[in-house]
């Protein structure tokens, strides 16, 4: 894997991590397009560079994270279901799901259809929860259960958690911000577990590639998060659903042989 490859992956990760279009799915499709085999290192790299994107959230929301204990309570409560499922199914996820092009495309397509359907079905209410610290532990855990479906590549962690929160009575923008923050322990745990499992056995070139991917995804994600927050204030998620459907169909028809 070259430095150029790492930069390409970093840009893709930084743009897609917080959009409801599945960053993992896009990384898998990217590896197919540039003809990289799904080696154990590539799977580790795809998990690790998500840390760069997560760091952007920590930087952007540092004041909220430092001042409000209830926010941390709700983040950790929402993280629990994914932590348990991810730990129990780690070997199955990395062996059979990560890198599986067919699972990714099916999940992208079905997720796109569901995204459009649920967006049309959802009706905001004046009583919807407006701030993250007002979430109950029960609601946080239920949102975390929704997020845990994203262990399937192509599902989209952000889409699952955002839509889950909205249907549990959370305002759209608050649901998006909670999804951002919920990514912090989720991706830290996923990356940490993967690094422990790999026993930190990386060559000098692999360490360089990991560093480039990390920094690249951090910088790109900083810009993407700011844009996404502005976008969802005036738009629905239906366009992302259409994008997922078109991407899955085009990839299936033109790329898979």
Give this prediction's pTM: 0.85
Q: Of 207, 182, 36, which is closest to residue 27 (Cα–Cα)? A: 36
How high is the pLDDT of residue 100? 78
How high is the pLDDT of residue 241? 94
Q: Of 59, 66, 74, 241, which is closest to residue 165 (Cα–Cα)? A: 74
Categorize the per-residue pLDDT at 99 as very low, low, confident or very high, splitting at 50, 70 and 90. Answer: low
Dmax over CA atoms of the chain, in Å, equals 55
In the predicted structure, residue 77 carries a pLDDT above the cut 90: yes
Categorize the per-residue pLDDT at 146 as very low, low, confident or very high, splitting at 50, 70 and 90. Answer: very high
How high is the pLDDT of residue 76? 95
- CA dist 53 and 190 (Å) reads 13
Tokens of 56: 């952007």
In the predicted structure, residue 22 carries a pLDDT above the cut 90: no
The answer to whether 137 touches 75, Cβ cutoff 8 Å, is: no
Higher-pLDDT residue of 145 and 94 is 145
Q: Of 107, 173, 167, which is closest to residue 143 (Cα–Cα)? A: 167
Categorize the per-residue pLDDT at 46 as very low, low, confident or very high, splitting at 50, 70 and 90. Answer: confident
How high is the pLDDT of residue 236? 86
Average pLDDT over residues 28-33: 86
> What does the DSSP assignment read for the chain?
--HHHHHHHHHHHHHHTTSTT-HHHHHHHHHHHTT----HHHHHHHHHTHHHHHHHHHHHTHHHHHH-HHHHHHHHHHHHHHHHHHHHTHHHIIIIITT-HHHHHHHHHHHHHHHHHHHHH----TTSB-SGGG--HHHHHHHHHHHHGGGSTTS-HHHHHHHHHHHTTB-HHHHHHHHHHHHHHHHHHHHHHHHHHHTT---HHHHHHHHHHHHHHHHHHHHHHHHHHHHHTT--SHHHHHHHHHHHHHHHHHT--
Mean of the per-residue pLDDT values for the chain? 87
Q: What is the pLDDT of residues 169-223, one digit of tens each?
A: 999 999 999 999 998 998 888 777 766 766 667 888 888 999 999 999 999 999 8
With a CB cutoff of 8 Å and minimum separation 6, the contacts of 34 are 5, 8
Segments making up each domain of the chain, as ranges: 3-254
Neighbours of 37 (CB within 10 A): 10
The answer to whether 248 touches 105, Cβ cutoff 8 Å, is: yes
- CA dist 179 and 17 (Å) reads 11
How high is the pLDDT of residue 103? 86
């Amino acid at each position: 894997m070259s430095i150029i490859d790492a930069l390409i992956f970093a840009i893709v990760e930084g743009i897609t991590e917080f959009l409801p279009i599945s960053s993992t799915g896009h990384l898998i499709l990217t590896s197919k397009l540039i003809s990289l085999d799904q080696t154990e290192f590539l799977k580790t790299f795809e998990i690790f560079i998500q840390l760069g994107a997560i760091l952007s959230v920590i930087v952007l929301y540092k004041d909220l994270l430092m001042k409000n204990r209830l926010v941390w309570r709700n983040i950790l409560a929402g993280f629990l279901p994914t932590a348990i499922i991810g730990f129990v199914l780690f070997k199955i996820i990395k062996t059979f799901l990560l890198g599986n092009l067919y699972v990714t495309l099916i999940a992208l397509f079905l997720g796109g259809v569901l995204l459009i359907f649920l967006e049309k079905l959802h009706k905001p209410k004046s009583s919807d929860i407006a701030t993250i610290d007002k979430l109950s532990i029960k609601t946080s855990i239920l949102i975390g259960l929704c997020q845990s479906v994203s262990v399937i590549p192509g599902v989209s962690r952000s889409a699952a958690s955002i839509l889950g929160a909205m249907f549990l009575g959370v305002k759209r923008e608050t649901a998006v911000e909670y999804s951002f923050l919920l990514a912090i322990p989720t991706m830290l745990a996923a990356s940490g577990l993967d690094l422990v499992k790999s026993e930190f056995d990386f060559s000098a070139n692999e360490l360089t590639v990991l560093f480039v991917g990390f920094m690249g995804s951090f910088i790109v994600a900083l810009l993407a998060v700011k844009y996404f927050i502005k976008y969802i204030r005036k738009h629905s998620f239906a366009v992302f659903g259409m994008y997922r459907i078109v991407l899955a169909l085009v990839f299936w028809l033109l790329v898979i042989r």
